Structure 1
Amino acid sequence: DRPVRELDILPAEERSYLLEELNRTEADYPSDLCVHELFEAQVRRAPDAVALVFEEQSISYGALNADANRLAHHLIELGVRPDQPVAICVERSPAMVVGLLAILKAGGAYVPLDPAYPSERLRQLLDDAGPRRLLCDATGRAALGAEAIADLSVVDLNAATPAWADQSADDPDPHALGLTARHLAYVIYTSGSTGTPKGVMVEHASVLNVLRALLDVSGLTERDSLLAITTISFDIAGLELCLPLAVGAKVVVAHGTSAIGLQRYLSHQKITVMQATPAAWRMLFDAGWEGAPDLSALCGGEALPSELASNLGRRVKSLRNLYGPTETTIWATTFPTDTRIEAPHRYVPIGRPIANTRIYLLDGHGQPVPFGAVGELYIGGAGVARGYLNRPDLTAERFLADPFSGKAGARMYRSGDLARYLPDGNLEFLGRNDDQVKIRGFRIEPGEIAARLLEHELVGDAAVVAHADAAGDKRLVAYVVVKMTDGSAEADGAGLAASLRAHLGGLLPDYMVPSAFVRLEALPLTVNGKLDRKALPVPDDDAYARRAYEAPQGEIETLLAGIWAELLGVERVGRHDNFFELGGHSLLAV
């Protein structure tokens, strides 16, 4: 006898189509190379070609490689070995690229830290990753603080006379280092539902596969110029740097990402490839960008609205929608938007798996759902990460044996995303089966924010959810139950919101700080004792962290207050209110 849940309800033909036909993605890519070896091959091919542009500075492939090699040999002398984490906390600059390449060449796994993060957040990541060596500049050193780096071997990338200046400019020998494609390339941290960020361990072989796959589908060549705009702490940043350098193209590192600045880069640097979130593309349009006929646009990080895709697709050479979690190495599926969609959809499909990648839509018992039915998206293949650093229990929960691939040792990642197959075999993304949200491309676990709120002395209970405004933009809203205290001035609406905002601002990146704070007597619960999200009230104006109201004065203040009120969807804006505390963000500011 077998449990009913183990019975296969699918006809053999449909099961074969779902598991095999839709996953015929095998590609014969070299599997024994490391990421930086693709770059080194281009150095040998065209050492004088421009590899990197930053502001007015241009660096050739040969010069970039020599700088990275000298630093790599220095790191090797400091004791860097394969699989060892090496932290890097720097501003966007050529030194950032040199540092990343040097860590890879030395055999280390880079752990990127954004110097814009709060010091407490950076220290939390350092404590978890446990690197013994840190590459930084003055900004990174200041962001981390002296106490956090006291026990680390610090390499100052801005040193006037670097200790590695006299090191060899030759490529380190990976064989002599014992470095293989199965060693780690990087550890990237994502938001964690329990309040602790998760470090995703990704190997060279996985990065190499996504690079090869995207080179195949994008047609990127040595004649292209790619604009790199993503912060170093996200895996997409590594792709923006490694993809062009793997094929001999030019990478232009943007110093800032304002709409005006991006337009300047796109036109002055003759950019032919750029990847960005839907929010960033919309920001460009809102700022008056008219498009670029020679630009290949890549879009990912959150669902791509069909109306935005239509608008963008008309103004660029090509547009490709991409999907993938950090745990399966940047991108797992791709959809060219010139593909005919049989029926209109609110969002563009996420397409089909890239090379050497397998997609399964499974039910709650791990069995394939019928074609067209909604299932949880599991991802197998070459891109599956090694797991979470220092989190064996969570690794075992999310990274599972792949029973469908037929390959010994194959694994798959349980994404928590919901999807279904469209009639043409493309995948349609349908959201999450848990609380995780994406806002402006940032992956956020509301539970992590709630856990941090509970550390505040006034908070007895808390929940964080994402609310969509009238324009469809998502904003984080925190619901808090205040502890019974005697006469705390902070417990009123405005004072509480300001106190909680300041508390979270010192612990979390700004994109994780809620726009509104709602005080409740108790969190609403379902009959099963779980949070009743449907019963949470929609925040009113007073829920936003605002100052005591004072009417705007003069023509300019009145005009700006009216614009803010319209953008933010609030009734009134006072002269002392803060745009960002009211729920604004840099993209909306445009």
Structure 2
Amino acid sequence: FSSSPQTLPPSPAPAIHLLFEAQAQRSPSSCALLDLPSGSSLSYHTLNSQANQLARLLLSLGLTANTPVPLVLPASSSFFVGMLAVLKAGGCFVPLDPTAPPARLQALLTELQPSLLLTSQSLAASLPSLASSCLVLCLDAAETQAQLASLSSDNLPWSSSPDQLAYLIFTSGSTGTPKAVSISHTNLMVSLTSRLEYYKALPPKVHVPLLSLTFDSALTGVLWTLCEGGKVVLLAEEHKRNLSKLPALLEQVQVSHLLLVPSLYSQILEYAAPSQLASLRCVTIGGEACPRSLVQLHYSLLPQTPLFNEYGPSEATVWASVHLCSPSDPFPTAPIGHPLPHCSLYVLDPSLQPVPIGVPGELFIGGPSLSPGYFRQPSLSSQRFLPHPFSSDPSARLYRTGDLVRWLPNGSLLFLGRLDQ
């Protein structure tokens, strides 16, 4: 087994913000964002209009293609306006955690060397000294708001290349050293198109991101929702951490989709009454091994809600395989599933030769969702992204994941651990 027998349909648009614009035209008055603590909300029309105005301001400030623009913002309407605006203007957004230690923010900004940074007035004063060497745009400042009000809210023409960068995501992997994974518009659209096709019977209606938006798995959930016309509900950080009260909030907003790590989902199930999660239509977990006990607990409480176990590193734009979990799965951890249509998966030995079914080996990923590489780190990129030994295309590559897996007889994969552990 090396790839999925399915065929991926063509991408509905060359860039994800164009898909969002089409959704905003179809359902302009529908709620796109609900900030639960404040009770404020943005419709699709308003979110799109504000992003258009900010995009024009960014262009007037000299934003160019592939330019990294850090978003030092909490999960808020400003974050989403900023993210969409950077995409519309042809730049590359970089989500950074405003609560991270100053030394870490300093290290990330040193690597990025940005000329422009988006944040808020309350956060600007605490930014590391490096931020003083770039233009810091506070989105909530009166001067900024006055500039935005004078600009057109119409959609901007977009003639950029799909190969341009859409975002950078920092990941330390197993090394502990932050590195920025580059993701192009093509990477993002291929991954999203595959998701839209796989979950076409389960479109997200109400999604609550419980992970930080500095994780691309969290971005996956919100972008999927906004391109399907659903509602993203934002919770205060203290509400996310208070697991005894979180289930009541999920019930209040009638959450339909969750995308989170198994350990967090396990804790939610411990605190929640089944009635509080009755609105759930789909639960997707990933990022960690999923124990069999969690699968059994899920189906004992929510027997009608499918539980999907997804696998995929940031370097392959979040996902490469998926498994619909079953309480009858016989393994200690849930399989990571079958390859998705946009990916080819290989289990190889140290000589890069395929291993037989059932024999452990390292997982390699190929396909159009592969990142161009690590931002400004060509040496590291060449170590992890290798020439494709099984392709006649000289430009084809494989990403070596460092994950130990084995094929199951049905063509699914079982995750066994990390090679460096």
Asked if these proteins are the same fold (TM beyond 0.5), I'd say yes
Deviation of 1:244 after TM superposition, in Å, equals 0.7
2:197 match = 216
1:96 match = 79
2:131 match = 149
Deviation of 1:223 after TM superposition, in Å, equals 6.7
2:4 match = 23
Deviation of 1:260 after TM superposition, in Å, equals 3.6
Q: Is the 8 A contact 1:323 1:334 kept in 2?
A: yes
1:374 match = 360
2:401 match = 415
Deviation of 1:354 after TM superposition, in Å, equals 1.7
Deviation of 1:221 after TM superposition, in Å, equals 6.2
Q: 1:61 aligns with which of 16, 25, 44?
A: 44
1:385 match = 371
1:331 aligns with 2:319: yes
**Aligned AA (1:153):** L
Task: Output the CA distance in 2 between the equivalents of 1:58 and 1:385.
Answer: 34
**Aligned AA (1:92):** A
Report the CA distance shift for 1:140/1:410 in structure 2 as closer, same or farther (over 3 A). Answer: farther
Q: Is the 8 A contact 1:202 1:385 kept in 2?
A: yes
Q: How does 1:317-356 map to 2 (within 5 A)?
A: 317-338=305-326, 341=329, 344-356=330-342
2:108 match = 125
SS in 2 for 1:86: strand
Task: Output the CA distance in 2 between the equivalents of 1:93 and 1:261.
Answer: 21
Q: How many corresponding residue pairs?
A: 410
2:30 match = 49
Q: Is the 8 A contact 1:209 1:355 kept in 2?
A: no
Task: Output the CA distance in 2 between the equivalents of 1:139 and 1:180.
Answer: 36
SS in 2 for 1:312: helix
Any idea what the Cα deviations from partners look like across 1:472-498, whole Å, max 9, x if unmatched?
xxxxxxxxxxxxxxxxxxxxxxxxxxx
1:168 match = 152
SS in 1 for 2:132: coil
1:399 match = 385
Q: 2:185 aligns with which of 204, 218, 239?
A: 204
SS in 2 for 1:202: strand
Task: Output the CA distance in 2 between the equivalents of 1:159 and 1:139.
Answer: 10
1:254 aligns with 2:242: no
Q: 1:292 aligns with which of 259, 277, 296?
A: 277
2:299 match = 313
Deviation of 1:400 after TM superposition, in Å, equals 1.1
Report the CA distance shift for 1:214/1:199 in structure 2 as closer, same or farther (over 3 A). Answer: same
Deviation of 1:194 after TM superposition, in Å, equals 6.4
Q: How does 1:423-434 map to 2 (within 5 A)?
A: 423-434=409-420
Deviation of 1:31 after TM superposition, in Å, equals 7.6
C-alpha RMSD over aligned residues: 1.9
Task: Output the CA distance in 1 between the equivalents of 2:210 and 2:324.
Answer: 22
1:229 aligns with 2:181: no
Deviates more, 1:98-107 or 1:400-409: 400-409
Task: Output the CA distance in 2 between the equivalents of 1:152 and 1:39.
Answer: 30
2:140 match = 158
1:304 match = 290
Give percent identity, aligned residues only.
Answer: 36
Q: Is the 8 A contact 2:95 2:214 kept in 1?
A: yes
Deviation of 1:222 after TM superposition, in Å, equals 6.3
2:63 match = 80
Deviation of 1:265 after TM superposition, in Å, equals 2.9
Give the greater-gyration-radius structure (CA). Answer: 1
**Aligned AA (1:81):** T
Task: Output the CA distance in 1 between the equivalents of 2:92 and 2:153.
Answer: 21
Q: How does 1:496-507 map to 2 (within 5 A)?
A: none
Task: Output the CA distance in 1 between the equivalents of 2:249 and 2:368.
Answer: 34
Deviation of 1:398 after TM superposition, in Å, equals 0.3
SS in 2 for 1:400: strand
Higher relative contact order (CA 8 A, sep 6+): 2
Deviation of 1:287 after TM superposition, in Å, equals 2.4
Report the CA distance shift for 1:288/1:229 in structure 2 as closer, same or farther (over 3 A). Answer: closer
Q: Is the 8 A contact 2:247 2:272 kept in 1?
A: no
Task: Output the CA distance in 1 between the equivalents of 2:193 and 2:328.
Answer: 26
> What TM-score comes out, normalization by structure 1 length?
0.67
Deviation of 1:160 after TM superposition, in Å, equals 3.2
2:248 match = 264
> What TM-score comes out, normalization by structure 2 length?
0.93
Task: Output the CA distance in 1 between the equivalents of 2:203 and 2:308.
Answer: 20
Any idea what the Cα deviations from partners look like across 1:534-574, whole Å, max 9, x if unmatched?
xxxxxxxxxxxxxxxxxxxxxxxxxxxxxxxxxxxxxxxxx
Report the CA distance shift for 1:383/1:367 in structure 2 as closer, same or farther (over 3 A). Answer: same
Deviation of 1:119 after TM superposition, in Å, equals 0.5
Any idea what the Cα deviations from partners look like across 1:453-478, whole Å, max 9, x if unmatched?
xxxxxxxxxxxxxxxxxxxxxxxxxx
Task: Output the CA distance in 1 between the equivalents of 2:413 and 2:203.
Answer: 32
1:36 match = 17
1:278 aligns with 2:262: yes
Q: Is the 8 A contact 2:251 2:279 kept in 1?
A: no
Task: Output the CA distance in 2 between the equivalents of 1:376 and 1:48.
Answer: 48
What are the ranges of 5 or more consecutive residues in structure 2 without an aligned counterpart?
Answer: none
**Aligned AA (2:40):** Q
What are the ranges of 5 or more consecutive residues in structure 1 without an aligned counterpart?
Answer: 1-17, 436-590
Q: Is the 8 A contact 2:247 2:277 kept in 1?
A: no
SS in 2 for 1:345: coil
